[in-house]
């Protein structure tokens, strides 16, 4: 795992304290969405079709900092929306870093070369730049030519200026395994990236290109093929071995959505970063009033193919805390890429999907006087 020693230490201390205080559900990473505005229009995105009035709304730096303190998570992932479209982003990041929150700016990289001079290197700050494959694949996924080259230039500039830089790579149905392996080698040996987040895409219900999302069986098949590479142990994953083992179909995990709570202009989003099925004004309300048993694989059909790191990585981390020898064994032995897989969670009692988007959006726009 390529997360820095100090970051791992802080997270370990935090989780230990939560366990000692008998907390069964606690946040690890705050998913902070200061706005939804974007400068790309991918047909795989589920968050770019909000009305213009919503797109023009931004969280203030004060609200962002308050949210981070309210939930208390040691890590903050600033996402959205393209974070660098906000003029307040340098102040938001500065406040989070000053409060010793490990902060990740999740960006497509198009504005980094222009905006990077507003930021200072810190062990608490990481640029997480989106690159979903090689030039051909990434530009296709982004819906715009030249995005790959801009992102690579941004990575090189950020590393030259002393920043920690990771890459967020989402795998989709149309990508070939060999190309993904070559791409991971490129990140490791050519770009010398500090960390890689590799995850299957989530099938956003409002994304227009549903054919490109992977179902659960395809995820396990593709990731097993990727992990067979002779260079697997040289790739600098920013993820736990147990989560990667889950992607390869060797672990059966339910998600822990409370571990990655989402805060945006509407409030605290229920139940997770991917699904917006309600909002609460306070973090405590989110934790106490959400019926968590209604969501996740086997409970809700919208969740049946989700294997993303949001939620599942937290489950893997909890297992590491509970069974450190299992995690150590996985580190030594490696991830199994052949042979039978454990039986999946049954879908027989999963409740059907609910179409609540329009109703919730209308209510929140009325509440915020955006109608």
For 244, the domain range is 5-367
pLDDT, tens digit, 9 for 90 and up, residues 306-345: 999 988 999 999 899 888 898 888 888 889 999 999 999 9
| Average pLDDT of the residues of the chain | 95
**Please, which pLDDT band fits residue 71 given cuts at 50, 70 and 90?**
very high
d(CA 211, CA 296): 22
CB 75 within 8 A of CB 68: no
Helical spans, DSSP H, in 186-264? 216-227, 241-247
Q: How many domains does the chain have?
A: 1
pLDDT in tens, 202-248: 888 888 788 889 999 999 999 999 999 999 999 999 999 999 999 99
138-158 pLDDT tens trace: 999 999 999 999 999 999 999
> What percent of the chain clears pLDDT 90, i.e. is strictly above it?
86
- Domain containing residue 178: CATH number: 3.20.20.70
Per-residue pLDDT tens over the stretch 157-196: 999 999 999 999 999 998 999 999 999 999 999 999 999 9
Mean pLDDT of 65-81: 97
Tens digit of pLDDT for each residue in 120-131?
999 999 999 999
pLDDT of residue 204: 84
Query: Where on the phi/psi map is residue 334: left (φ > 0), alpha (ψ -120 to 50), or beta?
Result: left
Burial of 46 per CB tally in 10 Å (0-12, 13-18, 19+):
middle
For residues 335 and 40, what is the distance between their CA atoms, to the nearest angstrom? 36
288, pLDDT greater than 90: yes
Helix (H, G, I), strand (E, B) or coil at 77: strand
């Amino acid at each position: 795992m390529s997360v820095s020693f100090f970051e791992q230490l802080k997270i370990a201390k935090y989780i230990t304290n939560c366990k000692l205080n008998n907390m069964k559900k606690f946040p690890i990473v705050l998913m902070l969405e200061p706005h939804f505005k974007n400068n790309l229009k991918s047909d795989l995105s589920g968050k770019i079709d909000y009305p213009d009035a919503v797109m023009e709304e931004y969280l203030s730096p004060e609200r962002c900092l308050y949210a981070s303190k309210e939930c208390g998570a040691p890590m903050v992932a600033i996402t959205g929306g393209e974070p660098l479209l906000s003029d307040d982003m340098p102040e938001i990041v500065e406040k989070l870093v000053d409060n010793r929150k490990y902060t990740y700016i999740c960006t497509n990289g198009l504005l980094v070369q222009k905006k990077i001079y507003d930021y200072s290197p810190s062990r608490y700050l990481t640029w997480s730049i989106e690159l979903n494959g090689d030039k051909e694949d990434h530009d296709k996924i982004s819906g715009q030519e030249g995005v790959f080259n801009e992102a690579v230039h941004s990575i090189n500039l950020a590393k030259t200026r002393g920043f920690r830089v990771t890459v967020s790579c989402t795998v989709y149905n149309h990508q070939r395994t060999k190309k993904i392996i070559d791409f991971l080698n490129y990140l490791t040996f050519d770009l010398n990236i500090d960390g890689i987040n590799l995850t299957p895409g989530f099938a956003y219900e409002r994304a227009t290109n549903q054919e490109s999302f992977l179902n659960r069986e395809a995820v396990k098949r593709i990731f097993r093929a990727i992990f067979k590479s002779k260079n697997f142990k040289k790739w600098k994953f920013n993820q736990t071995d147990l989560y990667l083992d889950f992607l390869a179909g060797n672990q059966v995990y339910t998600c822990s959505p409370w571990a990655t709570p989402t805060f945006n202009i509407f409030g605290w989003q229920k139940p997770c970063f991917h699904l917006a099925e309600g909002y609460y004004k306070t973090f405590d309300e989110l934790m106490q009033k959400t019926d968590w048993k209604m969501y996740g694989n086997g409970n809700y059909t919208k969740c049946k193919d989700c294997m993303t790191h949001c939620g599942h990585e937290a489950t893997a981390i909890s297992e590491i805390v509970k069974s450190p020898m299992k995690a150590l064994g996985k580190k030594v032995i490696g991830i199994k890429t052949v042979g039978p897989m454990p039986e999946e969670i049954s879908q027989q009692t999963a409740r059907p999907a609910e179409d609540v988007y329009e109703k919730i959006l209308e209510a929140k726009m009325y509440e915020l006087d955006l109608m």
